[in-house]
């Protein structure tokens, strides 16, 4: 056991999740004041001593992304200059994770820039969930633990979806095939894939189904649902091909733009998201949204990191 104690801080991005994580570990959140001056500058005041402590800062990349990222960087730096022994940034949804490659000329690799900023501000370790591309771990020169929502998703399918043994796991694009096949293998189910053609970003033009879904419950699995155009079209394609019901299970429910309207109008029975991003207000607007709580996974990762235990157990198990 470490001789120093855990201190958990959070900014304004997702206080509910931070409270859940802290209560799961059996402690209160440490005192911090994060506010804005009238000229929109972010001001951070750490309200208690962090000297020689093991500091964890929980801040998700959602909502006002740039403000939340800046809050995180300033909090890390404040703890560093206040002599914290180790600072771990816990980022359930990594900001700018989709800008991870030079897919056209002059495109910035912003995920690498964010990695550099976190390192320079003083983070010693990063814990995140379901990175859009796991190679982002290689953008850092500090250890990164990329946890997976997959065990929680599998638990949800087994417990909440009736007749799940008659289901088929579907990936809405070729990029997510690996994630979907992994879940299909662990549940011993079949797998199908939808090939989508995009004319421009965030707009899907047409979809082709590869696989047999007739008479089955289709479960769409993806890492994020943003405008939900892909999910809406994919669900329609599946029903046209004979699927009885369509569920969608997604790690990060960003749900921006017209997402709520798209889900309400779609044939999707339920859209299941994790609480890496706060979705309480959206749940009131859309009764189809259901949430998986991933606070136990994050809390266990924090506990194991603090005690110097292996975190890889969490890649395949949900903490009790």
The mean of the pLDDT values for the chain is 94
What is the band of 206 on the pLDDT scale with cuts at 50, 70, 90? confident
As a whole number of angstroms, the distance between CA 255 and CA 273 comes to 10
- Kindly tell me if the per-residue pLDDT of 159 is higher than 70: yes
Interval 207-220: pLDDT, tens: 889 999 999 999 99
Alpha helices in 137-204 (DSSP H): 150-160, 177-187
What is the pLDDT at residue 207? 86
| Average pLDDT score over residue span 135-153 | 96
The full length of the chain comes to 320
Instruction: Report angle CA 1, 60, 102 to the nearest 5 degrees.
Output: 110
pLDDT at 320: 81
Model confidence band, residue 175 (pLDDT cutoffs 50, 70, 90)? confident
The confidence score (pLDDT) of residue 202 equals 67
pLDDT for 101 beyond 50: yes
**Residue the block writes with tokens 């979907």:** 180
Q: Residues with Cβ < 8 Å from 277, sequence gap 6 or more?
A: 14, 60, 62, 63, 92, 93, 252, 253, 254, 255
SS3 state at 288: coil
Asked if residue 61 lies in contact with residue 95, where contact means CB atoms within 8 angstroms, the answer is: yes
Q: Which of 46-55, 102-111, 191-200, 285-294 has the lowest mean pLDDT?
A: 191-200
Confidence of residue 116 (pLDDT cuts 50, 70, 90): very high
Whether the predicted pLDDT of 161 surpasses 60 = yes
Distance CA(223)–CA(254), nearest Å, equals 10
Q: How confident is the model at residue 1, as a pLDDT?
A: 46
pLDDT at 196: 77
The span from the CA of 30 to the CA of 51, in Å, is 13
Choice among 6-15, 89-98, 193-202 with the minimum mean pLDDT: 193-202
Residue 56: partners with Cβ closer than 8 Å, 6 or more residues away: 6, 7, 8, 9, 88, 90, 127, 302, 305
Which domains occur in the chain, in start order?
A: 6-148+295-315 (3.40.50.2020), 150-292 (3.40.50.2020)
The tokens for 143 are 């250890």
pLDDT average, residue stretch 210-237: 94
Q: How far apart are the C-alpha atoms of 193 and 65, rounded to whole Å?
A: 31
**Percent of the chain surpassing pLDDT 70:** 97
Residue 20: which pLDDT band, with cuts at 50, 70 and 90?
very high
Give 253-272 pLDDT, tens digit per residue: 999 999 999 999 999 999 99
Per the model's pLDDT, the better-predicted residue between 207 and 246 turns out to be: 246
């Amino acid at each position: 056991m470490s001789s120093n104690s855990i201190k958990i801080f959070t900014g304004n991005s997702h206080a509910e999740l931070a409270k859940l994580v802290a209560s799961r570990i059996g402690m209160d959140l440490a005192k911090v004041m994060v506010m804005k001056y009238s000229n929109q500058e972010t001001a951070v005041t750490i309200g208690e001593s962090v000297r020689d402590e093991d500091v964890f800062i929980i801040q998700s990349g959602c909502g006002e992304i740039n403000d939340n990222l800046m809050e995180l960087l300033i909090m890390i730096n404040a703890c560093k200059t206040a002599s914290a022994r180790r600072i771990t940034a816990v980022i359930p949804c990594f900001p700018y994770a989709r800008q991870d490659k030079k897919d056209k000329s002059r495109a910035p690799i912003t995920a690498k820039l964010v990695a550099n900023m976190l390192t320079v501000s003083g983070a010693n370790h990063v814990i995140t969930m379901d990175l859009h591309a796991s190679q982002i771990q290689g953008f850092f020169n500090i250890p990164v633990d990329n946890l997976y929502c997959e065990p929680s998703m599998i638990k949800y399918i087994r417990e909440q979806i009736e007749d799940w043994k008659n289901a088929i796991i579907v990936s809405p694009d070729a990029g997510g095939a690996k994630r979907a096949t992994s879940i299909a293998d662990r549940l011993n189910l079949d797998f199908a894939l939808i090939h989508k053609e995009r004319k421009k970003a965030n707009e899907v033009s047409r979809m082709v189904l590869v696989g047999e879904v007739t008479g089955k419950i289709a479960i769409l699995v993806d890492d994020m649902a943003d405008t939900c155009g892909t999910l809406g079209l994919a669900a329609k394609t599946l029903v046209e091909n004979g699927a009885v019901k369509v569920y969608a299970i997604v790690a990060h429910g960003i749900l921006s733009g017209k997402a709520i309207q798209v889900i309400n109008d779609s044939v999707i029975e339920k859209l299941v998201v994790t609480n890496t991003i706060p979705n309480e207000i959206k749940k009131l607007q859309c009764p189809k949204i259901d949430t998986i709580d991933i606070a136990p996974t994050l809390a266990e990762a924090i506990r194991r990191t603090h005690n110097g235990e292996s975190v890889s157990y969490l890649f395949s198990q949900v903490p009790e």
